[in-house]
Amino acid sequence: MKFAKKYETYMKGMEEELPGVGLKRLKKMLKKCRAELGSHQQSSSSSSDAGGVRCLGHCSVCDGSFFPSLLNEMSAVIGCFNKKAKKLLELHLASGFKKYAMWFTNKGHKSHGQLIQQGKDLVTYAIINAVAMRKILKKYDKIHYSKQGQEFKAQAQSLHIEILQSPWLCELMAFYMNLRRSKNNEVAMELFGDCSLTFDDDQPTLSCNLFDSMRVDISLMCSICLDTMFDPVSLSCGHIFCYLCCCSAASVTIVDGLKSADQKSKCPLCRQVGVFPNAAHLDELNMLISYR
């Protein structure tokens, strides 16, 4: 079964309707574009190299509909994922009266095992949409003999709408990997048995293989100190660093913390300003790394 069919089947089979990549619609747009390119190649007498043909200005794909549409869909996907991942982690980690209140108000009063299954579904949702986005961009470049798809992917990463960059994906995976260490959590062991943390050549990598042999590898090396992350924090732009490295980059003391950082301070990677005050500690990821 081709990926597009698998993707459509997966999205339709979800219990709750969630935003996704309009893969079928975008492929139709590319098919129409290919036909127009073929027609242009036949009618053009000046072009001697078919590989050098570029999409025409009146092409239905290049008129501003393909990339804006994909951008909106990707934004909706990562927004939905981050919101649900945060809520699920809060539900798992809450204690005392807060935990009772959250469990009581949770729709359907799901059991612990059902919440673990929901976590797996969320991770799978993130991975399959990331693969769908990459495949449609690769197809775009193949049809247009261009690198616009790869350039768009880089733009998506700079806009923090690349779902595999989401710190909450790392935190969610880390939580369930920590959970499966317990002898009483056979459900977590069964559903997240294909997730692992490896240190090949001192390169820490969080890996997950959950949907039809599709694999995702996330580096856990701090790009500031070039070592395994220690007490990782996620800046509001989505980039993850060691807490100490963040304090150093923001020119604040450990005692004062990142909330005291200047709003003009920039992320060491993307150079976005004002990303330090709302930084979030990734406690589950830190716990997972400390087990090594």
In angstroms, the CA 214 to CA 218 distance is: 13
In angstroms, the CA 260 to CA 242 distance is: 17
In angstroms, the CA 21 to CA 144 distance is: 20
What pLDDT score does 152 carry? 83
Other Cβ atoms within 10 Å of 219 Cβ, number:
12
What is the token pair recorded at 191? 């559903």
In angstroms, the CA 180 to CA 189 distance is: 5
Q: Give the phi and the psi of residue 44 in degrees, each rounded to 5.
A: -85, 120
pLDDT tens-digit series, residues 144-196:
777 888 888 887 877 777 887 788 888 888 888 887 766 555 555 555 557 77
pLDDT tens-digit series, residues 200-209:
777 888 887 7
What pLDDT score does 276 carry? 93
**CATH class of the domain at 220-290:** alpha beta
Q: In sequence order, what are the beta bridge partners of 275?
A: none
The contacts of residue 269 (CB under 8 Å, 6+ apart) are 223, 237, 239
What pLDDT score does 53 carry? 46
Distances (CA, A) of 57 to 123, 146, 196: 39, 14, 47
212 residue type, one letter: D
Q: In sequence order, what are the beta bridge partners of 216?
A: 208
What is the token pair recorded at 220? 């856990």
In angstroms, the CA 133 to CA 21 distance is: 7
In angstroms, the CA 98 to CA 80 distance is: 23
In terms of Cβ atoms closer than 10 Å to its own Cβ (0-12, 13-18, 19+), residue 15 is exposed
**Cβ atoms of residues 165 and 202 within 8 Å:** no
Crossing angle for the helix pair 3-12 and 23-43, to the nearest 10 degrees: 150
In angstroms, the CA 252 to CA 255 distance is: 8
**Cβ atoms of residues 181 and 284 within 8 Å:** no
pTM: 0.77
Low-confidence ranges of the chain (pLDDT < 70): 1, 36-63, 94-112, 181-193, 210-214, 292
The contacts of residue 210 (CB under 8 Å, 6+ apart) are 120, 123, 124, 127, 194, 195
What pLDDT score does 191 carry? 53
Distances (CA, A) of 110 to 105, 118, 171, 179, 277: 10, 10, 21, 17, 35
In angstroms, the CA 267 to CA 287 distance is: 24
What pLDDT score does 52 carry? 44
Q: Where in the chain is the domain with CATH 3.30.40.10?
A: 220-290
In angstroms, the CA 41 to CA 119 distance is: 49
What pLDDT score does 47 carry? 47
Identify the residue whose tokens are 């200047």: 262
Q: Give the phi and the psi of residue 107 in degrees, each rounded to 5.
A: -60, 130
